Copies of this chain bind each other. A is one copy, B any other.
Amino acid sequence: MYSWNDSGGLNNVTSSYAEGPVYDANSFPANVAAQGTTQQPLVFSNQLVRRNQNNQVARGHFTNPSEWQDTNNPIIPQSDFDEDEEQLEQKALEAKKEAQRKRKQIPPFVQKLSSFLDESNNTDLIRWSDDGRSFIVLDEDEFAKTLIPELFKHNNYASFVRQLNMYGFHKKVGLSDNSMRASEKKSKTPSEYWNKYFRRGRPELLWLIQKPKNPPSTAKRKRGEDDKGKGAADSDEEGKKYGPDGENSSRPQLPSLTGTQDMALIPRSEIQGLRQELQQLQNQQRFISGVIQNFRRSNDQLRQQTMAFQKMHERHESSINAILTFLATFYNRSLEGQGQNMQDMFAHVMPQTNQTHGSVVDVGEDFQMDPQQAQPGRYTKKPLALLPAPVIKDATFPPSRVINSSRPALNTQQKRTSQPRVFSQNQGNAQPSRFTEVSASPTIKDEVATPDSTNLPETPTMIDVLNSVNASNTPTGPAEFDFSSALSNYQNADGNTPLPLTPQQRDDMLSLMVANTPGNGDNPLSASATAPQLPSLEQFDNSQEQLDMLQKLQEQQASKVQHLADRLQPLSPTGSIPGLEMGNFVGDPGQFDLNSFINSDDYFPDQGIGDTADTTNIGDSLADHSNGNGNLNLDLNWDLPSGTNPRNLDQGYSNQTFDNTFEDGLLMPSAADGGGRVESVSSEATSPANTLGGDEDLGREAASPRKRLRRG
């Protein structure tokens, strides 16, 4: 199960080979957030708080982490490895020869270690990481108790570790291998160790693992000199404390420089400072990545919406064109004396239309439309141009003007329009008009009640026709139309309340009109000349691409910064860039939660670098009120760059949400850190001595002989 095979499956993330890239964590804060607020971060099952990073690195010889950190830190671009691959083989070969020449061999310890891992059994105690670049001791206790003694003369895990360290293995803090099943961890987190040359399936490389031949310490003395020696020596042999790694690739042009003349002396504090700054840079980098992620999501969403919107717009456009063309035609014909009435309009689409319900009212002439007109060819299909015109939003105006002659409305003579006429039928059940401002409440007749043409049962009506049309419904053709239901809809509501047509109905109606309108066949939907240019989807796509690129660039930045940090590492051993090794975020960060991020300790936004007291602090100014869409809404407190549109800053989210959060630029997570410490140094604890007293002379140790360990 835990055989090497599984590596692939569980978390491909790391899987392939480059763990580095894999992680990308560089850019990613994320995982972080996961831990949540209380900052009880590393509480493992037992609740023990655990730090995450390698506390220190380069102590003693092997001082220069550069030798190993490249691999250690997953963040480093894998690229390094690729190039290394060849060299590695070469070096390994050389090392092997050299070793053999000297009658040496692969250090026993290494062999033993390898043998542990080679065996497929024991994988529940020790096994390779998924990427085969490190190994994991799953249960130290058990490992020490059962496995260690099998190859070593002891059963102390500590001793084992000492050996590991001796041979240049280092503990990996952020367990890269997430293949860890929850069940596997007992009370302690598994330990992961790696060595540049310790790789699964690469036994040749083991030749490169050597114990520090010559601990500069030999001279027993000390440090000052040691350091120097170190620095210079790294080129080939000696420095090599532990590994031959003659030119460990991590340091490219690394100069062989030998003398101090090539050395620069800089205060450690300075280096410290650099490291800190880099760290901040990295944090910010991650933050930016998160924002970009969000942005990408947002952009994509906008794109979707725009697309839908545009589609709808096109429909409307064509609808309007069709309608207007139709009406214009109708009107024209009526002027021409060929007016026909509404029913005629639809006549040709209907078998027999001649209904006779309506009576001509007192109004002027009828406009009649000759079905003839229906011949499209007659008219150029040039559609009516649409235009963005003032929207008639004011409900009271047009209607009232038109309808209520009493309205101050128009200066026209419309007074003379035919007088209001109330349909007698539905008057009774007419509902009170919602328009109180209007006096009369004309009702709509509800004759053509049901779709089934209750009123016009036998003769094929327009409705019938329309219904039949529905049968031949095609995508481009008129959509199916349930006119009857449309009308009933319109009238049924007590006749007084014209219900809105259903979308389908509406569309069908438009289709009908289109059918009746000559010349509209061509492009009823051509956008009007004045139509605003639609935001082209291409733009969104471009945005998306740019975001992709930004993302990529960010990742690169992050990795570069990481690299820088690593190079500074030697000076500051730990190499712990907190939060970096927290799993990969970039690959698919999932939903980036800015809030969480901000609240996490990974976010130390804007610690002023340059000035001691650069207080401009993003932290103070960031408020995250994400809308449901997962977009970020950030209220920025800082001064927006000129030209920035401060709109939207008033969304009602208090800026001070995060007050106090960022104390000094650091974003001060969460305070309550220690809250739950186990500590509880009870009063008793505080004054332990009380009970102590007693007899002192109990025999010393002499008493009992030697207890041997037994296991069993």
A310-335 Cβ-contact flags toward B at 8 Å (1 or 0): 11111111111011110111111111
Q: Are A705 and B118 in contact (CB under 8 A)?
A: yes
Q: Does A8 contact B708, Cβ atoms closer than 8 Å?
A: yes
B17 touches A204 (CB 8 A): no
> Which residues of the partner chain B approach A442 to less than 8 Å between Cβ atoms?
372-379, 518
| A454 within 8 A of partner (CB) | no
Which of chain A's residues 505-540 have a Cβ closer than 8 Å to chain B? 505-511, 513-525, 528-535, 537-540
Contact, CB under 8 Å: B370 / A344? no
**In whole angstroms, how far apart are the Cα atoms of A434 and B380 in the complex?**
6
Query: Which A residues, 1 to 52, have Cβ-Cβ distances below 8 Å to chain B?
Result: 1-8, 12, 14-24, 42-44, 46-50, 52
Q: How far is the CA of A149 from the CA of B678 in the complex (A)?
A: 7
A210 at the interface (CB under 8 A from B): no
Beta-carbon nearest neighbor of A699 in chain B: B130
Contact partner of A399 (CB less than 8 A), chosen from B273, B308, B518, B542, is B518
Measured between beta carbons, the chain B residues less than 8 angstroms from A100 are 693, 695, 697
Q: Which residue of B lies closest to A219 (CB)?
A: B222
A686 close to B343 (CB less than 8 A): no
**Could you say which of B116, B338, B358 contacts A365, with CB atoms under 8 Å apart?**
B358
Asked if A567 is at the interface (CB within 8 A of a chain B CB), the reply is: yes
Residues in B with CB closer than 8 Å to A265 are: 227-228, 231, 260, 263-265
Q: Which residues of B contact A609 (CB under 8 A)?
A: 77, 559-560, 563-564
Roughly how many angstroms separate A670 CA and B309 CA in the complex, as a whole number?
Answer: 35
The answer on a CB contact under 8 Å between B539 and A298 is: yes
Interface check A270, CB cutoff 8 A: yes
* A425 within 8 A of partner (CB): yes
Task: Give the residue name and chain of the B residue nearest to A535 (CB).
Answer: B305
- Answer yes or no: A595 CB below 8 A from chain B CBs: no
A681: chain B residues within 8 A (beta carbon):
4, 108, 111-112, 115, 151, 200-201
Whole-angstrom CA separation of A562 from B532 in the bound complex: 44
Chain B residues contacting A712 (CB-CB under 8 Å) are 1-3, 5, 187
In the complex the two chains form, is B708's CB within 8 Å of A150's CB? yes
Closest to A411 in B: B468
- Residues of chain A in range 227-286 having any CB-CB distance to chain B below 8 Å: 227-228, 231-232, 249-255, 257, 260-274, 277-278, 280-281, 284-285
- In the complex, A457 has a CB within 8 A of chain B: no
Q: CA A699 – CA B251 in complex, angstroms?
A: 35
Identify which of residues 324-367 in chain A touch chain B, using a CB-to-CB cut-off of 8 Å: 324-325, 327-367
Q: Is the Cβ of B434 less than 8 Å from the Cβ of A522?
A: yes
Report B-chain residues with C-beta under 8 Å of the C-beta of A277: 560, 563-564, 567
Is B132 touching A515 in the complex (CB atoms < 8 A)? Answer: no
Select which of B112, B366, B634 is within 8 A of A343 by beta carbon: B366
Contact pattern, A 414-436, Cβ under 8 Å of B = 1, otherwise 0: 10111111110100001101111
Query: Known interface pairs A522-B434, A550-B288, A666-B556. Does A365 touch B341 (Cβ–Cβ under 8 Å)?
Result: yes
A502 → chain B closest CB, angstroms: 6
**Could you jot down 15 A-B contacts, CB within 8 Å?**
A108-B681, A130-B698, A262-B268, A266-B266, A328-B444, A331-B343, A340-B361, A348-B418, A351-B416, A353-B363, A371-B419, A376-B395, A380-B431, A394-B521, A587-B642
Given contacts A199-B679, A298-B546, A411-B471, 6 further A-B contacts (CB under 8 A): A78-B668, A115-B689, A172-B701, A340-B363, A551-B641, A588-B641
9 residue pairs, one from A and one from B, having the closest CB atoms? A176-B701, A203-B689, A178-B704, A387-B503, A16-B674, A377-B438, A17-B677, A378-B442, A389-B507
